């Protein structure tokens, strides 16, 4: 019997808790802006294709903020600034820093007045007086208009009039944009409920504040995937908090969406056997993670052929049962990492119709290679809001083309996860789930760097203080107890630790650091106790880390092929982003997007990722060795290779990717030395941006054993 190939899209919607625990003001506007541009749009497109079913995962902390906007209780800092007639120097710096955090080509260039403001901003990035008060208001207006679904900008008469106006926006104009955004926030939850009620989507959840469950249970568990990884001493251990986040997620989901969620996307796909046991105890029937986790469970990596198709598809494209105490536990599925990343990162660089056709062809190849003896499921799981600014027309063309092709296909069927499991229960079991996440199959994004250690230690000590205080004050008022624990749960969210990672940095590092420490300080405020000095000291300073020395855990020799989707070796490399806008996947809209750096015994490898096509930029990599001499590696448009002086380096070029291999001897360093690296983009002989922004990346070329990856089974 021939079966269609079942495809399960899981769109994960998540933003961190931007609410200041003291003032209630949302320090960043990304919940509102993604609602105006993405959350509502995704549902509106899907609703036009009733035969295409999907799973949509809403993190509870995002839902809370959405509902606060809907009720009028939430105000973000951009809304606050939009009501003012003039701004302080600090406020103008904030507007300049955030007001151009939009895709340069797709969201700024199409609007000439906004583009003109960007050019002036880039020409004088440190001169706050380059703009008049009226022009600062125009930046605020355009920033919020650009982060609105382009279909709304065209179809809403009031918004279309403002786009046509272009300049000289008034406070009333800004209020009108914000009112429209609130209206769109109010439509998000009802539309998703409607799609769920008619059976087209399955709504699922994540742990309440989006924590990394294995680390909440025991931070030493990070060493399972990465032996020797630094962790706090004593460890952070709070398995009861992991269960609390799961139970709160269930309760929040049931109140908002009207039903008990069957499925869970663990934050960042992070799992462990202990976490799965907690998930089962909370009543979830299925969960999902990444193919790297399944590979480690089975003792093998999933290899791909020249077409990037998995060579053992029968193992990956099926659900499994997780055994708990020799009894069947919840079902678990594992995402196809390559297909998911194609939507998240690769397809935005090609026309939408072509991208949709490519995905359909790849799914058909998978179907032809699978046996017909039983059905199979291909899980495609990714952030549902973060990639669309890079697509033409906000992803409209790609999504419509993809959903139309799926609707017409006889060989492919898009289903919800629960639909598939009801028709095809798992046949195979996993005796134990290994520990890791969807990023490199480990937990090093949230543990191991000096900033991680300090942040987890502060969280551990604050939580211990709360537990001890509760025990010694049995008459503690319920509202004080609730406020204190709410702050602990908020501080346990994954996003703070994501930004503390030395692989991830942005111009908002200091803001995220302040929010994290404010949540912990609020525990002491709730108990009317003095705040420790340790919570007053930044974990990161603006533009500079506590410890700029970066460490690599094994030799990495990435193959230079300039693929938009980084290979495994590049994903494990040190990763620095130029600037962040709305979260882990978001970037600024000009020059360099990010830089990745790796090394082996003979070379240092550098990958520059750009927003514009390479041919629009001149790129430099500036390297200093132990003697302090600066070496400049230069690539100019039209060149086939980057040059170090007159030496041509091994180079790979893509549309927006430049990769190079630099012999250690060519820059006067050897294993054991320290190296400083900084990327720079130039446009029309003018510097566009640097990565890192303020200080070079400094790493130690630690001699390492030439052994396979410790994570590899």
Cβ contact 286:264 at 8 Å: yes
- CATH value at residue 398: 3.20.110.20
User: What pLDDT score does 694 carry?
Assistant: 64
C-alpha 323/C-alpha 76 separation (Å) is 45
In terms of Cα–Cα distance, which of 299, 253, 653, 242 is closest to 488?
A: 242
Strands (E), 421-564: 428-430, 549-550
Q: How many CB atoms lie within 10 A of CB 652?
A: 18
Q: pLDDT tens for residues 459-491?
A: 999 999 999 999 999 999 999 999 999 999 999
Of 43-47, 535-539, 666-670, 703-707, the one with minimum mean pLDDT is: 703-707
Residue 197 within a domain: no
Of 170, 192, 214, the one marking the end of a domain is: 192
- Tokens 């190939």 appear where? 5
User: What pLDDT score does 647 carry?
Assistant: 95
Instruction: Tell me the pLDDT band of 586, cut-offs 50, 70 and 90.
Output: very low
Mean pLDDT of 224-229: 90
C-alpha 298/C-alpha 23 separation (Å) is 49
User: What pLDDT score does 401 carry?
Assistant: 98
Question: Who wins on pLDDT, 688 or 652?
Answer: 652
In terms of Cα–Cα distance, which of 326, 294, 563, 608 is closest to 434?
A: 294
* Statement to judge: residues 263 and 311 lie in one domain: yes
Residue 436 within a domain: no
* Statement to judge: residues 560 and 677 lie in one domain: yes
Residue 32 within a domain: no
3-state SS of the chain: helix, strand, coil percent to 5? 45, 20, 40
* Statement to judge: residues 319 and 414 lie in one domain: yes
Residue 30 within a domain: no
Q: What percent of the chain has pLDDT over 70?
A: 94
Mean pLDDT of 315-324: 98
Q: pLDDT tens for residues 611-640?
A: 778 988 999 999 998 777 889 999 999 999
Tell me: pLDDT of 542 over 50: no
Residue 27 within a domain: no
Q: pLDDT tens for residues 400-424?
A: 999 999 999 999 999 999 999 999 9
User: What pLDDT score does 551 carry?
Assistant: 61
Torsion sign, CA atoms 294, 297, 298, 300: positive
DSSP H or E run through 291: helix 291-298
- CATH value at residue 642: 2.60.40.1190
Residue 652 within a domain: yes
DSSP H or E run through 594: strand 592-599
Which DSSP category does 271 fall into?
A: B
- CATH value at residue 492: 1.20.1430.10
Instruction: Tell me the pLDDT band of 350, cut-offs 50, 70 and 90.
Output: very high
* Statement to judge: residues 490 and 625 lie in one domain: no
C-alpha 15/C-alpha 27 separation (Å) is 12
Cβ contact 307:365 at 8 Å: yes
What residues pair up with 697 in beta bridges, in sequence order? 677
Mean pLDDT of 577-590: 44
User: What pLDDT score does 581 carry?
Assistant: 38
* Statement to judge: residues 95 and 173 lie in one domain: yes
- Tokens 């109010």 appear where? 186
- Write phi, then psi, for 271 (nearest 5 degrees): -140, 165
Query: Helix or strand or coil: residue 97?
Result: helix
C-alpha 396/C-alpha 93 separation (Å) is 34
In terms of Cα–Cα distance, which of 592, 613, 617, 596 is closest to 660?
A: 596
Of 144, 167, 192, the one marking the end of a domain is: 192
Cβ contact 406:299 at 8 Å: no
The total number of residues shown for the chain amounts to 713
* Statement to judge: residues 284 and 339 lie in one domain: yes
**What mean pLDDT value characterizes the chain?**
92
CA angle 239, 240, 241 (to 5 degrees): 90
* Statement to judge: residues 212 and 348 lie in one domain: yes
Tell me: pLDDT of 705 over 70: no
Sheet holding 603-610, edge to edge: 574-577, 592-599, 603-610, 657-663, 650-653
* Statement to judge: residues 635 and 655 lie in one domain: yes
Cβ contact 520:458 at 8 Å: yes
C-alpha 463/C-alpha 465 separation (Å) is 5
Q: How do strand 286-290 and strand 327-335 relate by DSSP bridges?
A: parallel
* Statement to judge: residues 236 and 340 lie in one domain: yes
* Statement to judge: residues 213 and 359 lie in one domain: yes
* Statement to judge: residues 412 and 480 lie in one domain: no
Tell me: pLDDT of 288 over 60: yes
User: What's the Cα-to-Cα distance from 22 to each of 79, 519, 522, 675, rounded to whole Å?
Assistant: 18, 9, 7, 42
Of 397, 430, 463, the one marking the end of a domain is: 430
* Statement to judge: residues 594 and 625 lie in one domain: yes
Residue 712 within a domain: no
Residue 33 within a domain: no
Please give the structure tokens belonging to residue 595.
Answer: 């830089």
* Per-position DSSP letters for 5-20, written without gaps between them: EEEEEEEEE-----B-
Domain that holds residue 531: 450-535
C-alpha 540/C-alpha 499 separation (Å) is 10
Mean pLDDT of 671-688: 87
User: What pLDDT score does 545 carry?
Assistant: 47
Q: Kindly tell me the burial class for residue 707, based on how many C-beta atoms sit within 10 Å of its own C-beta (0-12, 13-18, 19 or more).
A: exposed
Please give the structure tokens belonging to residue 583.
Answer: 């979260």
Domain count, the chain: 4
User: Going by C-beta distance under 8 Å and a sequence separation of 6 or more, which residues neighbour residue 408?
Assistant: none
Query: Helix or strand or coil: residue 617?
Result: coil
User: What pLDDT score does 541 carry?
Assistant: 60
Tell me: pLDDT of 146 over 70: yes
Peptide bond into 692 cis (omega under 30): yes
């Amino acid at each position: 019997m021939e079966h269609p190939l079942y495809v399960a899209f899981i769109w994960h919607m998540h933003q961190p808790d931007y609410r200041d625990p003291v003032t209630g003001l949302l320090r960043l506007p990304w919940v509102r802006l993604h609602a105006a541009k993405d959350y509502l749009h995704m549902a509106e497109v899907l609703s036009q294709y009733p035969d295409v079913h999907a799973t949509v995962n809403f993190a509870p902390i995002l839902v809370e903020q959405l509902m606060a906007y809907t009720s009028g209780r939430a105000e973000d800092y951009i809304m606050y600034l939009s009501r003012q007639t003039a701004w302080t120097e600090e406020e103008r710096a904030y507007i300049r820093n955030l007001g151009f955090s939009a895709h340069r080509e797709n969201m700024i260039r199409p609007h000439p007045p906004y583009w003109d403001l960007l050019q002036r901003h880039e020409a004088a990035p440190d001169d706050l007086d380059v703009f008049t008060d009226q022009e600062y208001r125009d930046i605020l207006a355009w920033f919020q208009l650009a982060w609105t679904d382009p279909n709304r900008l065209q179809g809403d008469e009031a918004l279309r009039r403002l786009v046509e106006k272009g300049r000289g926006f008034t406070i009333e104009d800004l209020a009108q944009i914000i009112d429209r955004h609130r209206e769109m926030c109010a439509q998000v939850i009802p539309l998703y409920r409607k799609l769920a009620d008619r059976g087209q989507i399955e709504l699922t959840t994540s742990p309440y504040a989006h924590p990394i469950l294995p680390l909440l249970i025991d931070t030493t568990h990070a060493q399972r995937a990465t032996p020797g990884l630094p962790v706090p001493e004593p460890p952070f251990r709070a398995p009861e908090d992991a269960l609390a986040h799961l139970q709160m997620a269930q309760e929040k989901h049931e109140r908002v969406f009207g039903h008990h969620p069957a499925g869970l996307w663990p934050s960042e796909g992070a799992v462990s056997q202990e976490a799965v046991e907690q998930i089962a105890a909370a009543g979830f029937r299925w969960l999902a993670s990444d193919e790297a986790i399944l590979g480690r469970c089975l003792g093998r990596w999933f290899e791909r052929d020249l077409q990037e198709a998995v060579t053992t598809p029968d193992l990956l494209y099926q659900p499994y049962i997780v055994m708990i105490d020799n009894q069947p536990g919840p079902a678990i599925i594992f995402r196809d990492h390559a297909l998911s990343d194609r939507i998240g990162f690769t397809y935005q660089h090609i026309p939408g119709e072509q991208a949709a056709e490519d995905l359909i062809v790849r799914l058909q190849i998978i179907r032809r290679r699978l046996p017909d003896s039983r059905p199979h499921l291909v899980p495609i799981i990714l952030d549902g809001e973060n990639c669309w600014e890079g697509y033409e027309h906000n992803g409209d063309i790609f999504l419509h083309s993809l959903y139309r092709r799926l609707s017409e296909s006889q060989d492919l069927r898009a289903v919800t996860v629960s639909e598939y499991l009801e028709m095809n229960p798992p046949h195979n079991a996993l005796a134990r789930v290994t520990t890791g996440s969807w990023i490199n199959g480990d937990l090093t994004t949230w543990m191991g760097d000096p900033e991680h250690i300090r942040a987890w230690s502060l969280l551990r000590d604050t939580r211990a203080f709360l537990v001890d205080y509760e025990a010694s004050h049995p008459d503690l008022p319920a509202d004080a107890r609730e406020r204190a624990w709410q702050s602990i749960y908020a501080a346990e969210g994954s996003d703070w630790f994501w930004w503390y990672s030395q692989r991830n940095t942005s111009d908002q590092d200091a803001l995220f650091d302040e929010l994290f420490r404010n949540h912990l300080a609020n525990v002491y405020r709730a108990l009317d106790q003095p705040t420790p000095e340790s919570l007053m000291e930044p974990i990161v300073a603006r533009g500079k880390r506590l410890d700029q020395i970066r460490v690599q855990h094994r030799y990495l020799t990435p193959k230079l092929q300039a693929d938009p989707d980084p290979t495994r070796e590049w994903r494990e490399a040190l990763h620095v982003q130029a600037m962040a806008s709305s979260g882990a996947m978001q970037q600024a809209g000009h020059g360099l997007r990010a830089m990745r750096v790796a090394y082996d015994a003979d070379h240092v490898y550098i990958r520059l990722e750009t927003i514009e096509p390479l041919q629009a930029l001149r790129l430099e990599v500036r390297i200093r060795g132990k003697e302090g001499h600066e070496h400049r590696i230069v690539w100019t448009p039209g060149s086939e290779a980057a040059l170090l002086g007159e030496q041509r380096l091994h180079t790979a070029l893509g549309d927006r990717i430049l990769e190079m291999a630099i012999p250690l001897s060519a820059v006067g360093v050897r294993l054991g030395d320290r190296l400083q690296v900084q990327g720079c983009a130039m446009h029309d002989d003018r510097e566009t941006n640097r990565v890192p922004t303020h200080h070079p990346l400094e790493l130690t070329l630690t001699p390492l054993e030439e052994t396979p990856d410790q994570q590899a089974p």
